[in-house]
Every structure is written in C-alpha cells, then in structure tokens.
C-alpha cells in the first residue's frame, strides 16, 4: 500500500470511530423507538419472566397510526424543487431546463420511495437518509444521476462535528455494509489475502468477524484555494472566467478595472471503498461540491456538544408501557375470575350433564333441565364486572400517549366535540403545529438535494448527448445538450443548452404536487359550472385537457377548435370577451 493510501486509510478510521462513538446514543434511541412502532413494546426481561409464569403479554400498538398519519400528510403535500437563475450567465430558460432534468432524475429514480423511507425513519427514530449516486447508462460511457433510498439508517455514519441540520458543513461521511467472507473473496479476489484478524485498536466497531467483512464507502472533502475578482462595476469574476481570461490573454481588454481580489476555499469530493486495513477501490473524484448523502432529522437538541435526535414516539414510551400494563392487568383479572356459575339440583340435570359440563366452554342457545314441581329453575350467578380502577388507568395512559406526542384523536380523524368546519380545521391546525419541525426539516433536506444535483449536473452532463426531460405536466421530451452550433450570420460558435455555464439556486415550494393541483382545479371548475352553466363552452376544453384519462388532451384540443370555428369572423364584444377568457384560463393553467 502506498503512503498516500495509508494516510487516507488512517484518517478514515480515526474519523469513523470518532463519529461512531459520538452518535452511539442516537442509534440506541432510534432502535428502541422503531421497535416500539413495530409492536415490540415490552422490556425483554419482563416479557421473558411473564412468559415463564404463563402470564399474558399483550401489546396494543397505538403508535403506528400517528406515524402513518404524519407520513400521509407529507406525501400529499410534498415540497417541490424549483430552480431559479442566480448569476454568471444564468437564465430563466436554463433554470427551466435544469428543473426538467431534476424532475426526470426523480422520476427515473422513483425518488418518492427514497424520500418516504427516510421520512418514516425520521418520524420513528429521529433521523433517516437518502443518497445520490451516478451510474453508467447501458451500452454507453455517459453517466446518469440517481436518487437512492437507504433502507438501513444505521449504515450511514456522518461527521458528528457538523452543525447544520443537513450536515452540509460536514467534512466526511461513511456508508457501510456487512458482506460474507465468501462473497468478499468473489468480488475482491486480489484483496482478500490482505484481510487480517488483528484486534481493533479503537475498540468501538468490529470490522471483521468469523463470517463477515465490513466494507465502507468513504466520502470526504479535500480543500483547495481559488481566486475571485471584483470589477469596478460590481461584477464578480468566478475562477472559471478568470481561467478563460488568462488562457486567451484578454485580461487587459476588460472594460472595467479590477478593484479587489481574494482567495476563497472550495472543496473537491473524494471517494474510496475500504475495509479496516485495505483500500478496495479509489480514490476517485466524485462529481459536485457536496457529499451526496442527505439526512432528514426530527426533533433536535444539543446534549453538551453532542447532537441528539428524537422521533415521534420518544416522549410517549413510558405512557405506552403503562397502557399495555393496565390492559394486560385487566385481561389477567378477568381471566382469573370464576366462570359463570349455575346452581341446580342433581335431579334437575340428570340425563343432561354433558350439556351442563361444557356450558362455559361452548356457546349454546339453550340447555335442558328436568322440571321438578315445587322447585325453582336452576339459578345463574352474574359474571364479574370490569375492574374500574384498572380501566380508568388504561384510559388515562391512552390520553397521556396523545398528550406526549401532541396529536389528538380529532387530528387523526376521530369524531370529537367540534361541530363546525372552522372548529375542526382549528383542531387539525393545532396538530399540524406539532409536526411542523418534520415538515421544515423535510423541506431543508430536499433543498439540499437540489443543491447537490445542481452541482453535479454540469460535471455529469458535460458532453454533447441526448437527455430526457420531464415537464411539470408529466410530458417527456428529449433534447440535445451541450450542442455546438454556428451562427450563419456572424460565424460565431455557440453551445445550445449548455449545462456548464451559469449559477443557479433552489427555491422551496410546499403544497400539493401537480397531479393533486390538477385534480383540485378540475373539481373547482365543475363546481363553478353548477352555478354558471353558460360558462361550459369556455371551460370544457380546459377541463378535458386536465383530465387524467387516455385521450383527454386530444379531446380538449378538438373542443377548443370547435369553439373557435363556431365564432363569427367579425367577433362581437361578447366573443372577444370569451377569447380573452380562454387566454386567461391558459395563463392560469400554465402556472400549474
């Protein structure tokens, strides 16, 4: 191993074990909370003790509905990424092009699955992740960008010295997986002989076992300095522009003089795949300026310099334990109570003893007895009633669960004492306030995703190639990017759809996605027609175009042409008004 590789490996191991130790409590808390959501709500020792004594161990899982409710709300109101031009020859058309590329990346990656997995992990255990990778297109040397889910949150180790919610300022990250030694020998035959069984000097993480090998993807930021200039006009010249001026020798031809220069620090993203004592692949440069692992966190607090994350269940754990305890207590009391007793004389049951013996085991519509004159019929003793004290405590514990989580029955759709629509909305809004930190953190994580994609796109899509675009209304198109052209009038060379120029930024927009908005528009238009039916010819083409069924768009076009043909050539004021209305409707539709 070279000295450079040895230095990378030593630094990686130091960083790994440092952050692994710092976040150990987060991992422990997340595991407990996730297990509670999955129904594992009894302490292992108590559970084993009760089972050994044949005592019931009941779990009434009231947690999952809270997680599903919040996750469903976020799925229906996903923040949407929007690119806006910032500076450096950025344009509105360039922003729209990048919007369509990012939308296509999300679509072909099935990114909603990655987002939902991470959000669910954050709701349950306080944090989750998704990541961004590059892969070669089939039968090509071109690469594509994909957003991938991280099913196991514990496979990611982030720089715990980071301060930003998205870990954007972190200097390194790891993605680990355990592989069987047999599989490792197949995939890395030239490296397997280097595996050692030496003891781990850090004493925190077991990299090797008898049957497995831990493999880690290691990302880190490598700093470098670059110079920027400011002209007298206020324009900022970026390093790429300065480099071009120096290469072409046109610095002296600047119209505005340079008023100041400064050195700024930027970072290259480096990547290797490693084990404890061997680098398996790399190091290589990863495209972009950010480590491509995106966390989403829940509630956060600082514990003497250590970042701690909490999910929805954390504060309700004791209430859940108490609820299960009182429920199982009620079950034990009722199970231990005597069965319903019946009193009869031997003469009354003579010949019918079989029916009477199984009366408490098998439901029967009736039992026979012998009528004896002068004797009353067999008597029945009332069964034991519900333990009032235990039932009251169980109800109190159920209320405590809602109080600690902050979501009440009315917020989850259960009937309540609110009767007016305004009162119901106010109660739901109080519940939304409880989950707002998750919504805000979700939005921050998506913004960070957009920043990573914007930094990767110029490096991944940097050659002339055909790419697919996905427009906001779901239409897929193909265009040629970085396409060199020549202006026939001036003989100047231009590059059409150049993704390597301009600086762009992300703008968050939260609300229903396009499909939801489209359905909402259709419903509103149909409601409007009930009060103003004469607007039907005006709205019908637009309604048809917004429908989801096959051929709806074509029918909308035909309706619009039919309407235009029916209008007289010398349009009256009324027809002009209708045409203006159509134009306004087209403008409204374009906003969605």
Three-state DSSP at 218 gives strand
Left (φ > 0), alpha (ψ -120 to 50) or beta: where does 288 sit? left
> How much of the chain is in helix, strand and coil states, percent to nearest 5?
45, 20, 30
| Distance from C-alpha of 95 to C-alpha of 92, rounded to nearest angstrom | 5
Closest CA to 33 of 377, 310, 226: 310
Give exposure, 264-280, as e/b (b: 16+ Cβ within 10 Å).
eeeeebbbbbbbbebbb
Closest CA to 294 of 72, 81, 499: 81
Closest CA to 323 of 398, 404, 389: 398
**Domain boundaries in the chain?**
1-215+271-337+386-485+492-511, 341-383, 514-590
Give, in order, the Cα–Cα distances in Å from 92 to each of 96, 498, 505: 6, 13, 12
pTM strictly above 0.85 = no
Asked if 317 contacts 36 with a C-beta cutoff of 8 angstroms, the reply is yes
Asked if 179 contacts 213 with a C-beta cutoff of 8 angstroms, the reply is yes
- The sign of the dihedral angle between the CA atoms of 395, 396, 399, 405 is negative
Helices of type H across 388-513:
388-405, 421-460
Percent of the chain with pLDDT over 90: 22
Three-state DSSP at 54 gives coil
Residues facing residue 266 across a β-bridge: 224
| Distance from C-alpha of 360 to C-alpha of 350, rounded to nearest angstrom | 18
Closest CA to 78 of 127, 114, 108: 114
Tokens of 292: 């491509």
Tokens of 463: 């050659």
Would you give per-residue pLDDT tens digits along the chain (592 residues)?
788 888 999 999 999 999 998 998 999 999 999 999 998 888 888 889 888 888 888 888 888 888 888 888 787 777 777 888 887 678 888 888 888 899 899 989 999 999 999 999 999 999 999 999 999 888 778 889 999 999 999 999 999 999 999 999 999 999 999 988 888 888 888 775 555 544 454 555 778 877 888 999 999 999 998 888 888 887 788 787 788 888 777 777 777 788 888 898 889 999 999 988 889 998 999 999 999 999 999 888 888 888 999 988 888 888 999 998 888 888 888 777 666 677 888 888 888 888 888 877 777 788 888 888 888 888 777 666 677 888 888 888 888 888 888 776 655 555 555 555 555 555 555 556 667 788 888 989 999 999 999 999 999 988 888 888 887 767 788 888 877 777 667 767 777 888 888 788 888 665 554 455 566 677 777 777 777 788 777 777 777 777 766 667 777 777 777 777 776 554 444 444 444 444 444 444 444 4
- Other Cβ atoms less than 10 A from the Cβ of 101: the count is 23
Written in H, E and C, the secondary structure of 101-141 is: HHHHHHHHHCHHHHHHHHHHHHHHHCEEEEEEEEEECCCCC
Residues facing residue 303 across a β-bridge: 306
Tokens of 126: 């306080």
Three-state DSSP at 313 gives coil
pLDDT digits (tens, 9 = 90+) for 571-582: 444 444 444 444
pLDDT digits (tens, 9 = 90+) for 300-342: 888 888 899 998 888 888 899 999 888 888 888 877 766 667 7
Asked if 477 contacts 468 with a C-beta cutoff of 8 angstroms, the reply is yes
């Amino acid at each position: 191993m070279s000295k450079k590789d040895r230095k990378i490996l030593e630094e990686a191991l130091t960083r790994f074990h440092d952050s692994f130790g710092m976040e150990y409590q987060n991992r422990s808390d997340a595991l407990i909370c996730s297990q509670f959501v999955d129904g594992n709500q009894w302490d292992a020792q108590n559970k084993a003790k009760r089972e050994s004594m044949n005592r019931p161990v009941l779990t009434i899982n009231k947690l999952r509905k809270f997680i599903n409710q919040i996750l469903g709300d976020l799925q229906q109101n996903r923040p949407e990424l929007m690119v806006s031009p910032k500076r450096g020859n950025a344009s509105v058309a360039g922003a729209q092009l990048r919007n369509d590329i990012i939308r296509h990346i999300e679509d072909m990656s099935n990114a909603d699955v990655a987002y939902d997995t991470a959000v669910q992990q954050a709701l349950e255990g306080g944090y989750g992740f998704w990541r961004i990778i590059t892969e070669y297109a089939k039968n090509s040397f071109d690469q594509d960008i994909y957003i991938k889910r991280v099913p196991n949150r514990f496979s990611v180790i982030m720089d715990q010295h980071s301060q930003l919610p998205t870990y954007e300022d972190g200097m390194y990250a790891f993605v680990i997986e355990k592989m069987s030694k047999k599989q490792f020998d197949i995939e890395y035959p030239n490296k397997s002989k280097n595996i050692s069984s030496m003891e781990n000097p850090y004493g925190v993480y077991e990299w090797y076992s008898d049957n497995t090998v831990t493999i880690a993807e290691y990302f880190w930021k490598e700093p470098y300095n670059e110079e920027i200039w400011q002209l007298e006009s206020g324009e900022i010249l970026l390093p790429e522009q300065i480099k071009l001026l120096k290469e072409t020798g046109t610095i002296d031809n600047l119209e505005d003089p340079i008023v100041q220069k400064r050195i700024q620090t930027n970072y290259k993203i480096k990547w290797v795949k490693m084990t404890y004592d061997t680098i398996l692949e790399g190091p290589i440069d990863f495209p972009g300026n950010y480590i491509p692992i995106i966390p989403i966190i829940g509630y956060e607090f600082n514990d003497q310099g250590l970042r701690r994350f909490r999910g929805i269940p954390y504060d309700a754990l004791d209430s859940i334990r108490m609820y299960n305890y009182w429920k199982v207590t009620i079950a034990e009391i009722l199970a231990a109570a005597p069965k319903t007793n019946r009193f009869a004389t031997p003469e009354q049951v003579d010949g019918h003893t079989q029916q009477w013996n199984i009366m408490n085991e098998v439901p029967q519509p009736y039992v026979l007895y012998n009528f004896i004159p002068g004797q009353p019929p067999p008597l029945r003793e009332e069964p034991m009633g519900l333990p009032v004290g235990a039932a009251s405590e169980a109800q109190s514990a159920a209320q405590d669960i809602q109080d600690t989580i902050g979501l009440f029955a009315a917020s989850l759709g259960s009937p309540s004492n609110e009767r007016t629509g305004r009162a119901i909305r106010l109660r739901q809004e109080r519940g939304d306030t409880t989950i707002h930190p998750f919504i805000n953190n979700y939005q921050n994580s998506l913004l960070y995703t957009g920043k990573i994609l914007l930094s990767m796109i110029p490096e991944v899509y940097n050659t002339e190639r055909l790419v697919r675009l996905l427009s906001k209304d779901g239409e897929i198109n193909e265009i040629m990017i970085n396409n060199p052209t020549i202006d026939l009038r001036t003989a100047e060379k231009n590059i059409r759809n150049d993704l390597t120029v301009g600086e762009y930024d992300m703008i968050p927009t939260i609300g229903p996605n396009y499909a939801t908005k489209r359905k909402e528009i259709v419903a509103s238009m149909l409601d409007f027609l009930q009060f103003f039916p004469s607007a039907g010819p005006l709205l019908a083409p637009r309604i048809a175009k917004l429908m989801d069924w096959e051929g709806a768009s074509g029918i909308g076009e035909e309706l619009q042409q039919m309407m235009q043909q029916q209008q007289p050539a010398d349009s009256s004021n009324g027809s002009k008004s209708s045409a203006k209305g159509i134009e306004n409707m087209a403008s409204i539709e374009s906003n969605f």
